[in-house]
Copies of this chain bind each other. A is one copy, B any other.
Amino acid sequence: MNKRYIIGIDLGGTNLKVALLDLKYNIKDREVLGTRSFLEKEELISGIVYSINRIIKYNGLDKTDILGVGLGLPGPVDTRQGVVHFLPNVPGWKEVRLRDILKKRIGLAVFLDNDAKVMALAEHRLGAARGFNNVLCMTLGTGIGGGIIIGGKLYRGFNNAAGEVGHLPINERGLSCNCGRSGCLEAYIGNSRILNSARKEFKRDISLEELSLLAAKGNRQAIKIWRNVGKRLGFALAGVVNILNLDAVVMGGGVSNAGRVLFDSAKESLQNQAMSVQGGHVKIFRAKLGNNAGLIGAAIMVREGQAS
């Protein structure tokens, strides 16, 4: 068969990444566009189509070489129908039949899923969760997302909305969350909350990168902030681990770049709060595929979708 390539797309709130991958999921070519430069839904869709066509042509290929297109996006998705329910932070996206639209305009098979699920798929097949049966993969960033692998397969739940670990409540009278409720994990360890704590502590604006760097250099204020984040994270994870008796938890996303200070604190807090049988067995890993997890997972989705 001559279909030796896959198009993987990672549509984020900030960046639109389009990549050409081979069947072993090596990224052969890649382009990154700013999502916000597309003002309207139609423009963004056209941008995606244009970018797909360009990357195929630029690499001396044509559509008969392409197995299909996989796309991960940061919102709830009906994978079976190929419908994007909505995209938080991208106006104008509501119940968009994106799969059919793209399929019609590019003439290739198209697969969609939520980005946290796509990331979980990638980390399970090729990354940190490889070989583990029951895994939670978390993305720590502006939002806290999650994808769950059960028995080696992506677990979707009733309507593909499983994995919302950011909205696990950790306090009855807790902080207000973006979701409109309160006490959710995300309200405590989402990007903006961390940046707020840092601003209070340092009396100036400070980026996550700087905060991580300071902690790595031994700055006690920065370490305190990251340890608090880890403590909350571990506390929430203990609940998930007690319920799911997981083999492993994988954490990626911008916040996870804080590295060891964060992971050590999360592990300690998880061990303190989890039951010994469950806590004693679960492994905690940092995600391995980094920024490419979305592209690789999107390609895996195409290959596994084609095979099944």
A136 nearest in chain B by CB position: B243
Assess the A179–B275 pair: CB atoms within 8 A: yes
Assess the A155–B150 pair: CB atoms within 8 A: yes
- Choose from B158, B160, B247 the contact partner of A282 (Cβ within 8 Å): B158
A218-240 contacts to B (CB < 8 Å): 232, 235, 238-240
CB within 8 Å for A158 and B246 given contacts A170-B172, A171-B172, A239-B168: yes
Assess the A181–B278 pair: CB atoms within 8 A: no
A155 nearest in chain B by CB position: B150
Classify the secondary structure of A's interface with B: loop
A230-275 contacts to B (CB < 8 Å): 232, 235, 238-240, 242-247, 272-273, 275
Copies of this chain, complex-wide, total: 2
Please tell me if A169 contacts chain B, counting CB pairs below 8 Å.
yes
Please tell me if A281 contacts chain B, counting CB pairs below 8 Å.
yes
Please tell me if A163 contacts chain B, counting CB pairs below 8 Å.
yes
Assess the B156–A245 pair: CB atoms within 8 A: yes
Please tell me if A297 contacts chain B, counting CB pairs below 8 Å.
no
- Choose from B162, B232, B243, B272 the contact partner of A181 (Cβ within 8 Å): B272
A23-58 contacts to B (CB < 8 Å): none
- Choose from B85, B164, B183 the contact partner of A243 (Cβ within 8 Å): B164
Please tell me if A286 contacts chain B, counting CB pairs below 8 Å.
no
Assess the A168–B243 pair: CB atoms within 8 A: yes
Q: Which residues from B are CB-within-8-Å of A247?
A: 158
CB within 8 Å for A161 and B239 given contacts A170-B172, A273-B181, A275-B179: no
Please tell me if A198 contacts chain B, counting CB pairs below 8 Å.
no
* Chain B CB within 10 Å, residue with most, of A146, A161, A272: A161
Assess the A167–B76 pair: CB atoms within 8 A: no
Please tell me if A165 contacts chain B, counting CB pairs below 8 Å.
yes
CB within 8 Å for A158 and B245 given contacts A170-B172, A235-B172, A273-B169: yes
